[in-house]
Structure 1
């Protein structure tokens, strides 16, 4: 399944396990301009809950969408501030 979200940047954390997908997502989002969308490619099934929980508790970011694409989990995070 593909996404309808237009990503500004892509972060590939495939093969990495908790907590690295969230740690690297946070670092990448810090470098984005407001309104930019980061696509995160992960293979850790726990990243679905981890990225969602991080986005929910972090000011200035919004989880736009999460897509399961075979063995890859695609997370779309927008920098809002």
Structure 2
């Protein structure tokens, strides 16, 4: 699961940075949500992480998790067989 150095978020045009990128492709439910939750524990409120996931249930689980835990799903996109989520950690 590669982490990357902070970098501009793709395509947002506002210079927002991603603190970590998690490549969770190939993992099945519930692992993408569990690993996303753990990664968010390691960043400060207001920081962003990007999550890549191929499990179709992640398209439901990650937005629900963000809503329930007070995080903001700033962006989500579908690629060929996988999804990318940009999450801003809540307070």
TM-score after normalising by structure 1: 0.88
Structure 1 gaps of 5+ residues are none
- Asked which structure has the greater RCO (Cα within 8 Å, sep 6+), the reply is 1
Q: Does 1:29 pair with 2:40?
A: yes
Contact 1:3 1:67 in 2 (8 A): no
The structure that has the greater radius of gyration is 2
Structure 2 gaps of 5+ residues are 1-9
Q: Are residues 43 and 3 of structure 1, via their aligned partners in 2, closer, same or farther at CA, if it must alter by over 3 Å?
A: farther
**Post-superposition, which runs of at least 4 consecutive aligned residues in structure 1 deviate over 3 A?**
none
Q: Does 1:73 pair with 2:83?
A: yes
TM-score after normalising by structure 2: 0.79
Secondary structure, counterpart of 2:28 in structure 1: coil
- More deviation, 63-72/5-14: 5-14
Name 1:63's counterpart in structure 2. 73
Name 2:20's counterpart in structure 1. 9
Return the alpha-carbon distance in structure 1 between the equivalents of residues 86 and 11 of structure 2: 9
